[in-house]
Structure 1
């Protein structure tokens, strides 16, 4: 078994079933497999060898999907790259991963042209006709050979290197083989009850582990129809659900927030939706409640995991939402989880400790980073760096990243709790809590608020609103108003940027 074989098997099972639709281009499973084989055999003809690293710097598209599965079929190791990165950031990833081949969208040619200098990249393939001298065109690489590539790929062969969000310092590349990612797919299929012939809408970036591993690969294995959006547009999302009768949706919390701002969102027919997933960043309970009202279904799933676990970790299912909204959930299939203290012992219910994970889906290592690997993988457990509690029923709740916890006047303040209250305020569109240096308290709890369109934030009124729901030391001492919050591709707020910016504002 390998990930490429999952696609090949579908040609026998349902060759004429619609597999992909993207920007007016559509492919049955037979056509999907042929497109992949044309590229895979073309890469082999260009001398690409099993085990070589192939970077993808592309927005969501049919070409991204073809390139990923072509790499899987010839035993190349896919390195999806965040297309929002600068040339210097991309250079680091290409160099650190030992990438030798890049496939990119035409708009990212200039970035790659600069980023590849001084790396092992020997050629670049551009979607469309390249403007950069020396780059190859995607169409020009394709082979006429539609047969399965003549390469033996086993489930133990490496499949992908996924770079972490890099919210602080340089990102690290989590290495996975075919078997690990296949199990990730099994876990999400079982936990979310995904069936054959679902209609999945892809909104979140495919270079991110959740959209790629949880839903694209598992969906291909099951014979789902994949509707792929190159960019996220709230109105186009609602239109696509209505037009394509989408059954399964996954999005990051910020996307749900934008969907809720569409004035006539309730007028769209969203009744085809069977399951709604969210994750990659904390989602405030108030935002979940409003989203449940919009989609008129209680079949919501909180997928609380991390890249290094596949992504995997814990899940809050629809039943859990009824009694434990706001919590992360319980371990997903094939996974063990704990909350431990500094000595590695399980904490008592309600006590805050570090969330750790063990499963066959956890990464093999951080690529070429042995010290970071040793600090993260200990005695078979993945130490996540997330602070959490566990209750008497075994439900785990993430409260903060270790590095983001605020200590004010000797009291620990966890940003997720305060942010959840801020999202309940009718004038707040988006919010983040950070700690800033304070001569009296050590750190002061500070809120960065994005108001809803046309709304005005009254600082005193907002503080009083928080004081009704939070202990005094948790109430923001300072409130900053911004037009938007800086986020990475996973939807996580880049709090280190906010801390740096607000320190300068105070100074």
Structure 2
């Protein structure tokens, strides 16, 4: 079995059912599969072989869905790239992944052009739209006229995705998942959420993220659900979509729920079709969760806590468990084993802090071309997540901190070391530490604690502009503190937990 066989079955058995809706465009399952085939057959005609890596730097759209599945049908490996990245950031991923092609939206044509400069591996840049740079081809000219299923064998053991995440070094690492692993991710979410072909799904979070892609687009396409795709999250439009399309299963990061609650006269929209809600990617404040339950008039909320390296996979807190274990991250999801262990790999006692580890069918094969990092993360079949957690007597796990000092702002992961590497390039900065501080809207926001060089003063706007040359907008520090000395332990490591404690009250005033 592979990831697209179910899509082909849906095209045969329910050809006229609505599959994808994007803006004014609507596609049946027969048309969905045909559009995917036009991409797959074009890739094959261009010489794409099984195992070739192909990047997508695209926003949510119908075309993203077609190209993603087209890559898989051609036997290729999809490499989704965050469309918010700068050319320099994207360049690293394109090179590291060994991508031979890249698909991009027309407003990203320049970024992709710059990111591909000097990369001899990139054979073709395909632009979705009407404007392109030199050495690029438009998607309309690239697509094949052949809409039949391609005759290419793709095995369950073949690689399907390389999803990039950052490590403690700040350099992105490619998480390799084959068809088998992604299928198990989908089966797990289908069972957990009791999903069926009658569900109406709304894709709001970026599809380059493993959560929206593997937890919802893939299962929705397997089951034959009707799926509404939006390029970006708009609170009013979201409420309209739920009302108009009778969305039955809603997923959003906490920030999305927060914005929905701020919509004036939201009561005018009928949200009664929503029977289940999932949230994840960032902490969900208790007060916000209760308000969200009132807004949707249901207590069927699922807390989803997982890692890209897990497919994603990890622990879920089910609706009935919210009543007795409110605030916990949850217990191991379907088909997953989860533990909290000490430095020797032994289970910690209830209430003690240790490292959160998981084992399941959907845990990554490894980090692409990084055997040492893979060996550190995968030990005896277990994925060592690097997250610190506690476990109670009933087996419920609660994450308490992140070894990697990762910041989650509006559902986006920001790795402090990556930002610090850029800050240290500034000529007037002696030392820098990046932390996440509480934010009422975004959950956390990025703050930089700076020690200027003697006689120097750091201008906030100038420093933000400096960072903008190398960092995506959501990674740029929004708050900057200037101090004389960073707190360190005896080994010289910066005490970031102390900085977070020092500035959490001050930050709330920003």
* TM-score, normalisation: structure 2: 0.81
Alpha carbons 1:316, 1:327 under 8 Å: kept = yes
Provide the residue aligned with 2:222 in structure 1: 221
Q: Deviations over 1:426-455 (max 9, x none)?
A: xxxxxx9x9xxxxxxxxx9x9845468xxx
Provide the residue aligned with 1:164 in structure 2: 165
Alpha carbons 2:132, 2:138 under 8 Å: kept = no
Change (3 A) 1:10 1:136: same
Provide the residue aligned with 2:48 in structure 1: 48
Q: Deviations over 1:7-31 (max 9, x none)?
A: 1011122110000000110000000
**Stretches of structure 2 lacking an aligned partner (at least 5 in a row):** 417-432, 442-466, 468-473, 486-510
Alpha carbons 2:168, 2:404 under 8 Å: kept = no
Pair 1:86-2:64 in alignment: no
Map 1:372-383 → 2, pairs under 5 A: 372-383=373-384
Q: Deviations over 1:185-225 (max 9, x none)?
A: 00001011111121000000000001000100001110100
Map 1:263-302 → 2, pairs under 5 A: 263-302=264-303
Pair 1:10-2:14 in alignment: no
Alpha carbons 2:167, 2:404 under 8 Å: kept = no
Alpha carbons 1:280, 1:306 under 8 Å: kept = no
Alpha carbons 1:253, 1:278 under 8 Å: kept = yes
**What CA distance in whole angstroms lies between the structure 2 residues aligned with 1:65 and 1:404?**
33
Change (3 A) 1:448 1:396: closer
* TM-score, normalisation: structure 1: 0.82
Deviation at 1:404?
3.6
Provide the residue aligned with 1:347 in structure 2: 348
**What CA distance in whole angstroms lies between the structure 2 residues aligned with 1:356 and 1:163?**
20
Pair 1:150-2:151 in alignment: yes
Deviation at 1:46?
1.6
Alpha carbons 2:162, 2:176 under 8 Å: kept = yes
Pair 1:504-2:505 in alignment: no
Provide the residue aligned with 1:334 in structure 2: 335
Pair 1:324-2:335 in alignment: no
**What CA distance in whole angstroms lies between the structure 1 residues aligned with 2:209 and 2:405?**
23
Q: Any runs of at least 4 consecutive aligned residues in structure 1 with deviations exceeding 6 A, and if so which?
A: none
Alpha carbons 1:365, 1:373 under 8 Å: kept = yes
Pair 1:129-2:130 in alignment: yes
**What CA distance in whole angstroms lies between the structure 1 residues aligned with 2:291 and 2:362?**
33
Q: Deviations over 1:165-185 (max 9, x none)?
A: 568601111001001100100
Alpha carbons 1:4, 1:70 under 8 Å: kept = no
**Stretches of structure 1 lacking an aligned partner (at least 5 in a row):** 406-414, 420-431, 435-443, 453-485, 487-492
Alpha carbons 1:204, 1:211 under 8 Å: kept = yes
Map 1:57-456 → 2, pairs under 5 A: 57-119=57-119, 120-165=121-166, 169-404=170-405, 448=437, 450=439
Q: CA RMSD in A?
A: 2.9
Deviation at 1:150?
1.6
Secondary structure of the structure 2 residue equivalent to 1:214: helix
Secondary structure of the structure 1 residue equivalent to 2:482: helix
Deviation at 1:131?
2.4
Deviation at 1:129?
2.2
